[in-house]
Structure 1
Amino acid sequence: MGACSSHELEGLEKKLTSLPTPSEFEGAKVRLSHLVMIGDVTPSTAKVWVKVPISGKWELKLQTKPFNIDDSQLQDERMIFVKYLEAEVSLTFCFECDDLKENTTYFYSVSLQGATNVALNSDKSCHFCTAKSNYDSISVAFFSCHDPFSGNNDFEPGAWHSMSKLADDLDLIIGGGDQIYLDSNEPGITDFWVFLRDNQNLFYDQFVDSKGSFREHDFRIYMVQIIRQYYLIYWNDQNMSHIFGRVPSYMIWNDHEIMDGWGSLTLKEKVEVLKLPSLKTGGIPIEDESLLANMVEISFQACAQVYNEFQHCRNPTAKKYLPIQDNPTGFAWDYSYNRGSQYQFYTLDMRGNHDCTAASDRLLGRGQHERMLQWLDTSITKETEAIFITSPVPFVHWSSIVELSVHFMKSLKDDLMDAWSHPSNHVERDKILAAFFYISNLYSIPIVILSGDVHCVSAYTLTDKKKFPNARIINITSSAITRKPCAAQATNAFHAKGYMKTRENDGKGVSRLTNIHCEQNFAKSGVNNFAVVKAERKSISCTFHWVEKSRGKLKQSTVKF
């Protein structure tokens, strides 16, 4: 996506009158100054993402021994990657390191070239391991829903400390969505959309000229800068820094990186978010709905740009440099990767092309369905031991009682339409599950679906003994790692067990039972948590880790499938 120059940013800040500058926005909150995150690794490559504190020419150095020992003999094998960083890319960059050795520990140092006293990471804990070509087993940590404020002014550490202790035991980490909350509960931190709504007269004065023309470019530059502040505030956590600087991580966005219910709202409903019940700052609210719609769309483009800067650029991509257009509509955010031929991974994007008004394929879009089916056909072989699918929203979690609640709680409309279980998504859900069951049955391998979103914990086994007797699908949901969880009593509203229902005529017809049976294996709510899934050949187990709020104790429970 097109980045704005530092001169444009400086010029824009000089023009700002009543709106806060990026540094003034949530000025009391402490920002992340620097961070290193290990992204996608293969047996010969690694992505190393950095956030640096100041502009300049920065070096990433890799070597196979720690930096704080006599390394005179390592000069020939030390690898150095250099990038000049300016504020135009929020002082972030993803180094792409080639020609690495398989299954090798690399120690790293990030330093400002020519300034020996400006080094971000160079101690013994700063290292990662490249992937192997073959795996007998694998250990995967999964988390979602990182909102350390959740209505409070204090930073809630959640379960990060517990996860950070497991760094040496994990092969990789998956972030299943909502790694930040633009629409966090106030007063803990400003809601991005409330900020835009309550100050829309100031935005109008700032970005609409005397002829009534909307200065879209300047508006987008400002939105990008504000959204970056959320990442810098949300990711300012020592335990997060420790584990992401050690273990390769893969991430996908969900709605809260954009707007609550994004994709399950019509354009009219998105515009309604910006309509004012009252004005905090005085003036006349914007009545031009086309202008409000444009503000929403450009804000989405800004969200996508910053998501790419902080998260997606570390994911596997088909090309070395990701060619993202200024308008992200239609862009393929889904991706695949592997650990050897034994363990195959696919990450679904449920927001980038989610459109509840589409005629079909409303959650994923037709293109993503076709890519995934092709991947299943070409990547899964007789050597595959297990498949891992990241689906930010679970296939099975809430009971049908929750689905009926929309009739008396209209505010749940978008949350329910986000779900695979919503009648409007049944055709799409049934199609993708049919593909999963077919592949699982064909190779007699488990498919593990990892999900977040719902602020609770659950695990289900899905079987279809009639059509696919050798198939086994497991849906594990872990949410939230720091976000205020649902009440403990929410487990009463979970899907217990029984056959999955589908509604005919694209969700408008009669409801009938399918052949898919859902068995509940685990259920918990009211706790911050994460999950560690272990695969040993075709055997799958999951250990749920959580923090008991009342006592602050760390607890865990293991489920074998």
Structure 2
Amino acid sequence: MSIHITHPIGPILLLDDVAMGQMSLSALFIMPGGQQPPPIIAPTGTVVPVALALFDGATVWRARFALPADRASHYAWNGQQYQVAGDLTGDLRLAYVSCNGEEVGDMDREGSERNAMWARLRDDHRRAPFAVMLHGGDQVYADEVTRGHPLSDDWPDRVPDNPRPDALESLRAHLRQRFFDRYAALYGAPELAWLAARVPSLMQWDDHDICDGWGSLPRSRTESAVGQALFATARDSFLLFQHGTVAGDLPARFADPQGMHLGWVITVPGLRILAPDMRSERTRHDIIGPGGWTMMDAEGRRHAQGHTMLMSSVPLLGPRMSILESLMVAIPRMQKYEDDLRDQWQSRTHREEWRRILRLVRDMARRDGHDLTALSGEIHLATRAEMDLGGGLHLHQLVASGIAHRAPPKGWARFLGALAWLGEDPLPEHPIRIRPLPGQRHRYVAQRNFLVLERRRGAWQAVWDLEDSGRTPPLPL
């Protein structure tokens, strides 16, 4: 059954680009029936929203406007004023979140339990505002959208060979509405809604924004008519609800205006936020496709002052997963988890590509003469790692996952910690070490969490907020 929208949802602020001292923003609205949202009142004038997409009983609208990027400011909507921190030039705070949901039954969870960490992040913003909110993947858990339609009910275990065109059209309509239902439920949650109206978001997708393991599943699934219908609908939904746009109208921060891949970069004084697309071109053998590598190689050649934050939806540094992969292949009842391991950079399948991106990161750091930070989610644990890049430079990896996904058993965290003892050095001259969070004994923490990145007088530090343990001491970057 579709969600019945009875009241407006929004505004949801999305950061389109930063240029010439201005933040270009999109404000997204989900309105009941044929209702039109009131205009945005911005410092540059009044902006009337335009309709982007029509769904059963609701319409999605967008208003594009600008705010200063060098100072705090505000906008107004529907008689209410919204403060936006906005200053990206000096001291600032960024929030990083991932994994906003669960694979099974997420729509049925009790709201205050599900969104407890969103409430904590909201309260943190009230104490000291965030300029931008980074979402590192799995903003929506769409694994159950395939249920309820005969073509996709058994996805991905069984896929029909030659579905009729009218059945495929029916499937697309079914999937489109199911994606809408999930995004509307997420953005309607009061804890997230309050933040999203005041803190512009930048989002990168991962597999659950499509389906569990997208790209690591067999080609017989992903390249089937049903698989392609699922991907196309997920992509349209991702553009609409996570970027406030549609195909052919991508904001300037995207590297490929045609959207063959959806990687993007934002550059502001002293900071570059770089988010390659690790899903659009993904196959069982490649994490980043040709378009994505063109973008990454170009960024690797470009000088960037200050600090680079590289968003890698799956952790760039990790333990020796190849051992676990070999065990799973050898044990028949464990083979169903092979796709989960193939999803990781550390999979033996991706060894050469992993070396390629690590060399690229090393060369970027050396060219610019500063450390580089990789931000990741995906594993439903909090952890960190370091890679010695030589010359006193380091790659810091910070993993914060998840904001809503409940933590796995502590035994899994302990097992990964034990695996990390073995070490993993794909570039032997640059050792990788998995480190405990500040104030924690173990390398992996099985608690819901989010990450706060703060720049003070040009120096960066990171703090994790852990559901049970609270805030960690700051980690200098």
Q: 1:350 and 2:283 equivalent?
A: no
- Deviation for aligned residue 1:142: 0.6
| Structure 2 gaps, min length 5 | 155-159, 438-442
- Deviation for aligned residue 1:410: 1.0
- 1:55 pairs with one of 14, 34, 48: 34
Contact 1:150/1:484 (8 A) holds in 2: no
1:309-339 CA-to-partner distances (Å, cap 9, x unmatched) read 10033699555999987xxxx7120100022
Contact 1:540/1:560 (8 A) holds in 2: yes
Residue type of the alignment partner of 1:164: R
Q: Give runs of aligned pairs for residues 226-237 of structure 1, distance below 5 A.
A: 226-237=178-189
Q: 1:303 and 2:247 equivalent?
A: no
Structure-2 separation of matches of 1:533 and 1:99: 22
Contact 2:452/2:464 (8 A) holds in 1: yes
2:84 counterpart residue number: 128
1:505-542 CA-to-partner distances (Å, cap 9, x unmatched) read xxxxxxx9453332414234331110112234664321
| Structure 1 gaps, min length 5 | 1-23, 65-76, 110-118, 184-190, 202-206, 272-292, 503-511
1:187-233 CA-to-partner distances (Å, cap 9, x unmatched) read xxxx22343468759xxxxx999x95545444323321222111112
2:157 counterpart residue number: none
Task: Choose 95-104 or 417-426, whichever is displaced more.
Answer: 95-104
Q: Give runs of aligned pairs for residues 488-527 of structure 1, distance below 5 A.
A: 488-492=410-414, 493-494=416-417, 496=420, 500-502=424-426, 513-522=428-437, 523-527=443-447
Q: Tell me: CA distance 1:377–1:79, structure 2 relative to 1, closer, same or farther (3 Å).
A: same
Structure-2 separation of matches of 1:193 and 1:83: 30
Structure-2 separation of matches of 1:261 and 1:212: 26
Contact 2:317/2:385 (8 A) holds in 1: yes
Residue type of the alignment partner of 1:294: A
1:469 counterpart residue number: 391
- Deviation for aligned residue 1:47: 2.2
Q: Give runs of aligned pairs for residues 385-404 of structure 1, distance below 5 A.
A: 385-400=306-321, 401-404=323-326
Structure-2 separation of matches of 1:419 and 1:255: 11
1:171 counterpart residue number: 131
Q: Output the TM-score relative to the length of structure 2.
A: 0.83
- 2:93 pairs with one of 128, 131, 139: 139
The alignment partner of 1:261 has SS state of coil
Contact 1:335/1:347 (8 A) holds in 2: yes
Contact 1:490/1:525 (8 A) holds in 2: no
The alignment partner of 2:235 has SS state of helix
Q: 1:93 and 2:31 equivalent?
A: no
2:295 counterpart residue number: 371
2:203 counterpart residue number: 251
Structure-2 separation of matches of 1:143 and 1:32: 27
Q: 1:483 and 2:409 equivalent?
A: no
- Deviation for aligned residue 1:161: 0.8
Contact 1:49/1:314 (8 A) holds in 2: no
Structure-1 separation of matches of 2:434 and 2:237: 39
Structure-1 separation of matches of 2:386 and 2:306: 17
1:406 counterpart residue number: 328
- Deviation for aligned residue 1:488: 1.9
Larger Rg: 1
Structure-1 separation of matches of 2:454 and 2:386: 16
Structure-2 separation of matches of 1:319 and 1:143: 24
- 1:34 pairs with one of 9, 13, 38: 9
Structure-2 separation of matches of 1:524 and 1:413: 22
1:436 counterpart residue number: 361
Structure-2 separation of matches of 1:306 and 1:322: 19
1:72-91 CA-to-partner distances (Å, cap 9, x unmatched) read xxxxx643334256625952
- Deviation for aligned residue 1:107: 2.3
Contact 2:385/2:432 (8 A) holds in 1: no
1:418 counterpart residue number: 343
1:338 counterpart residue number: 267
Structure-1 separation of matches of 2:244 and 2:45: 25
Residue type of the alignment partner of 1:53: P
Q: Output the TM-score relative to the length of structure 1.
A: 0.72
Q: Tell me: CA distance 1:195–1:516, structure 2 relative to 1, closer, same or farther (3 Å).
A: farther
Contact 1:170/1:247 (8 A) holds in 2: yes
1:46 counterpart residue number: 25
1:98-131 CA-to-partner distances (Å, cap 9, x unmatched) read 485752412220xxxxxxxxx4xx334x232444
- Deviation for aligned residue 1:148: 6.1
Task: Choose 479-488 or 305-314, whichever is displaced more.
Answer: 305-314
- 1:80 pairs with one of 23, 47, 61: 47
1:69 counterpart residue number: none
The alignment partner of 1:242 has SS state of helix
Q: Tell me: CA distance 1:530–1:150, structure 2 relative to 1, closer, same or farther (3 Å).
A: farther
- 2:73 pairs with one of 102, 105, 128: 105
Structure-2 separation of matches of 1:459 and 1:208: 44
